[in-house]
Structure 1
Amino acid sequence: MAVDEGLVAWVEEAMAPLGTVTGRAMMGGRTLYCDGTVFAILGLDALWFKADAQTDAEWDAAGCVRFTYERDGGTASMNYRRAPDDCYDDADALRGWAALALAAGRRAPARRRKAGHGTQA
């Protein structure tokens, strides 16, 4: 699955007032960071914002489904929610939801890198 580079450019442009967006390849998609904080992923042809227990009620109220995938014969999920439709054409909406995701990203515990794994720009 290829990443929609037009969507990447849109997110970078819309997020400019909040900070600099960078990305890192991940399993056919891309992890997005704003000034070094994970806030979203691109995968399954959609934008998915980081969520946590403090924001789940807001995502649920907006009807934003949780990111799920098949694993070991079952279904697994990650703490990401599908972006509301207006995020694809309304920069203010995208920034509003992204701010919620950035807050979740900042609250997340730091992940330790496995020995021998370098960073990628």
Structure 2
Amino acid sequence: MHEDLIAHLHDLSAGFAALHARRMFGGHGVYREGTMIGLLSDETVYLKTDEQTRPRFEAAGCRPFMYTRRGETVPTSYWTVPEEAMESPQEMRPWLALAWEAALRKGAKKKPAKTRAVKKTVAKKAAAKKKPRA
């Protein structure tokens, strides 16, 4: 279904980075170096945004990917790209860069769950060692 769009996106990302797509929820996730920067749904490309990049997408007339949950329409942080970006790698490159930056910032905010769990366990063990035995 999305194979032609995926091939076109590969062409558009020339000079930016190698991208790959993985099936997910009836669409595809678009990844750079294992980090999701976009998604493909209904033959449309959506790229990752955040509070810093979203105004650029809004100013260009882009729109968010929306889904319905419990009867309510919910916008996501993935937005369409301007039509001209779908025409050339030079036009797409800045939008891909914005998506990459947003994805990296999002990843930097997260702490891996295992790391937090390990730190708690280490702290508990250290506290237990400090308690004097009666």
Common fold by TM > 0.5: yes
Q: Residue 10 of structure 1 aligns to a residue in which SS?
A: helix
> How far apart are 1:54 and its partner, in Å?
0.6
After superposition, where does 1:1-121 map in structure 2 within 5 Å? 2-3=1-2, 5-109=3-107, 110=110
> How far apart are 1:65 and its partner, in Å?
0.8
CA distance in 2, matches of 1:35, 1:18: 12
> How far apart are 1:34 and its partner, in Å?
1.5
What TM-score, normalized to structure 1?
0.83
Q: Residue 50 of structure 2 aligns to a residue in which SS?
A: coil
Structure with more helix by fraction: 2
CA distance in 2, matches of 1:48, 1:70: 17
Aligned CA-pair RMSD? 1.7
User: C-alpha deviations, 1:41-60, integer Å up to 9, x for none?
Assistant: 00022000100001111111
Mark the runs of 5 or more structure 2 residues left unpaired by the alignment. Answer: 114-134
CA distance in 1, matches of 2:20, 2:112: 20
The percent of aligned pairs where both chains have the same amino acid is 31
- Greater gyration radius: 2
* Alignment coverage as a number of residue pairs: 111
> How far apart are 1:16 and its partner, in Å?
3.0
CA distance in 2, matches of 1:112, 1:47: 28
User: C-alpha deviations, 1:59-108, integer Å up to 9, x for none?
Assistant: 11111111111111111121011111012212111111111111101111
> How far apart are 1:112 and its partner, in Å?
6.0
CA distance in 2, matches of 1:34, 1:58: 21
CA distance in 2, matches of 1:63, 1:112: 35
